[in-house]
């Protein structure tokens, strides 16, 4: 049973409840001052607390998608997302499976849309990464057969799991509902995590002598998906949404590569690449490259591109609130268009982002063109 399995979570919760009740029941019998009774009480307390913490941890992981598997949790995931396929005519997008969207009449694609699980191979970055592609119902309807669609890449934070964008944040369901209510245009969603070279957190940077994550997202991803699906290659056809690390990546790509992404939305994003043991040396000692990836520095020292940006934060509960206000102030210059969504309160978590996603999808839908 996997780490994100509901069965594992349920078993852990039941075990915690049973052991708690057993501790209460046996406590009077272990009330003696003998060595055996003392050890028994210590053992009962330890086991009960361990199962309780395990249940809470599993619930938090199930809700927020921190780790995808047991190997990921224990740091045993060593698979590098780098693939070089030298065979002629190798497909850049391989469809691995199909999922139904959790809406009425889910089995009918022209009514509910469809989610395709794909593997995307980058020819320039030499990176391969999995993703989930949500195709709206209109994609399968005859009247739209010759129409291209706008696309928005949706990124998790780090470490994050792409499945959490579907099961935890419900992006396909929200997009389906909004399009049905005519509040946003039908849009293809490409859901994935920014960790395309696991387990390393690349902060979406082309690392000197390391993974070329930026090249993957800016060039390979767009080219491959436009060949597989009816998506244009103009920047007006492409947007990016991300939370936390994914939000930083989204803003950075729009500011650094306005010829690739015309709009970007950052939910609880930050504005400068983090550097810690999970990232390693991102810039190879280059101060110039570090500045280029500092969004505040870019706004103050580089010409602003004609892109649309959305940033979100909360007055209480978010650490990025002051930085977000500063970012808005610096970005309020033509030709960049900046919008914001500031909540009165809300932490750095799924519950906050679920409140922001409907407005974000509507905003993105109004900024992209088919």
The 10s digit of each residue's pLDDT in 286-314 is 999 999 999 999 999 999 999 999 999 99
- Please name the helix (run of DSSP H) or strand (run of DSSP E) that holds residue 69, with its range, or none: none
Percentage of residues of the chain with pLDDT beyond 70: 90
- pLDDT (0 to 100) of residue 88: 47
pLDDT score of 324 more than 90: yes
- pLDDT (0 to 100) of residue 80: 44
- pLDDT (0 to 100) of residue 19: 82
List pLDDT tens digits, range 160-175.
Answer: 899 999 999 999 999 9
- pLDDT (0 to 100) of residue 213: 97
Q: How many CA atoms lie within 13 A of 203 on its CB side?
A: 25
Q: Extract the tokens encoding 54.
A: 């395990």
- CA-to-CA distance for 201 and 275, rounded, in angstroms? 9
- pLDDT (0 to 100) of residue 1: 60
Predicted TM-score of the model (pTM): 0.79
Whose structure tokens read 């002629």?
88
- CA-to-CA distance for 123 and 106, rounded, in angstroms? 35
pLDDT score of 8 more than 80: no
Buried b or exposed e, range 292-320, using 16+ CB within 10 angstroms: bbbbeebbeeeebbebbbbbbbbeebbeb
Closest Cα to residue 285, out of 300, 299, 275?
A: 275
- pLDDT (0 to 100) of residue 46: 86
Distances (CA, A) of 296 to 171, 190, 255, 258, 313: 29, 27, 11, 17, 16
List pLDDT tens digits, range 54-88.
Answer: 888 877 776 666 665 666 666 655 444 444 454 54
DSSP for 249-277? HHHHHHHH-TTT-SEEEEES--SB---ST
Q: Which residue has the higher pLDDT, 250 or 19?
A: 250
Closest Cα to residue 327, out of 280, 295, 292?
A: 295
CB 176 within 8 A of CB 136: yes
Helix ranges, the chain (H): 6-26, 35-64, 70-73, 109-112, 162-167, 171-180, 213-215, 221-228, 245-256, 287-292, 295-301, 321-331, 350-367
Closest Cα to residue 153, out of 252, 278, 275?
A: 252
Query: What is the CB neighbour count within 10 angstroms for residue 5?
Result: 12
**Structure letter (DSSP) for residue 214:** H
- pLDDT (0 to 100) of residue 86: 43
Distances (CA, A) of 250 to 132, 133, 155: 18, 18, 8
- pLDDT (0 to 100) of residue 250: 98
- CA-to-CA distance for 109 and 284, rounded, in angstroms? 47
- CA-to-CA distance for 280 and 24, rounded, in angstroms? 48
Confidence category of residue 6, pLDDT binned at 50, 70, 90 = confident
- CA-to-CA distance for 247 and 244, rounded, in angstroms? 5
Distances (CA, A) of 284 to 110, 158, 205, 218, 287: 49, 21, 11, 21, 9
CB 186 within 8 A of CB 180: no
CB 251 within 8 A of CB 309: yes
Handedness of CA 310, 315, 316, 319 (dihedral sign): positive
Over residues 17-27, mean pLDDT: 82
Percentage of residues of the chain with pLDDT beyond 90: 71
Over residues 89-97, mean pLDDT: 83
- Rg over alpha carbons for the chain, rounded to the nearest Å, is 23
- pLDDT (0 to 100) of residue 329: 94
Number of residues that this document lists for the chain = 370
Confidence category of residue 89, pLDDT binned at 50, 70, 90 = low
SS3 at position 355: helix
- pLDDT (0 to 100) of residue 207: 96
């Amino acid at each position: 049973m996997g780490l994100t399995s509901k069965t594992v979570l349920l078993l852990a919760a039941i075990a915690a409840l049973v052991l708690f009740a057993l501790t209460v029941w046996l406590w009077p019998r272990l009330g003696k001052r003998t060595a055996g009774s003392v050890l028994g009480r210590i053992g009962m307390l330890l086991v009960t607390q361990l199962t309780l913490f395990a249940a809470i941890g599993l619930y938090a992981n199930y809700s927020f998608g921190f780790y995808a598997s047991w190997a990921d949790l224990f740091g045993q995931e060593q698979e590098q997302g780098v693939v070089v396929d030298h065979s002629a005519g190798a497909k850049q997008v391989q469809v691995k499976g199909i999922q139904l969207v959790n809406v009425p009449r889910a089995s009918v694609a022209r009514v509910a849309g469809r989610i395709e699980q794909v593997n995307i191979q980058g020819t320039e970055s030499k990176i391969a990464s999995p993703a989930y592609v949500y195709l709206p119902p209109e994609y399968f309807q005859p009247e739209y057969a010759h129409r291209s669609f706008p696309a928005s890449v949706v990124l998790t934070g780090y470490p994050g799991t792409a499945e959490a964008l579907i099961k935890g944040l419900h992006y396909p369901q929200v997009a389906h509902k909004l399009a049905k209510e005519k509040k946003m245009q039908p849009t293809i969603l490409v859901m994935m995590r920014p960790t395309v070279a696991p387990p390393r957190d690349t902060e979406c940077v082309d690392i000197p002598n390391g993974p070329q994550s930026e090249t993957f997202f800016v060039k390979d991803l767009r080219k491959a998906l436009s060949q597989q699906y009816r998506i244009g290659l103009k920047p007006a056809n492409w947007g990016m949404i991300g939370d936390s690390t994914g939000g930083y990546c989204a803003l950075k790509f729009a500011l650094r590569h306005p010829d690739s992404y015309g709009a970007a939305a950052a939910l609880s994003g930050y504005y400068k690449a983090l550097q810690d043991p999970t990232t390693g040396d991102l810039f190879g000692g280059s101060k110039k490259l570090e500045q280029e990836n500092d969004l505040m520095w870019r706004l103050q020292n580089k010409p602003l591109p004609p892109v649309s940006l959305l940033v979100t934060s909360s007055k209480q509960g978010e650490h990025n609130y002051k930085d977000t206000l500063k970012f808005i102030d610096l970005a309020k210059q033509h030709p960049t268009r900046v919008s914001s969504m500031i909540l009165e309160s809300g932490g750095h978590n799924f519950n906050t982002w679920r409140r922001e996603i409907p407005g974000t999808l509507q905003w993105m839908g109004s900024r992209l063109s088919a």
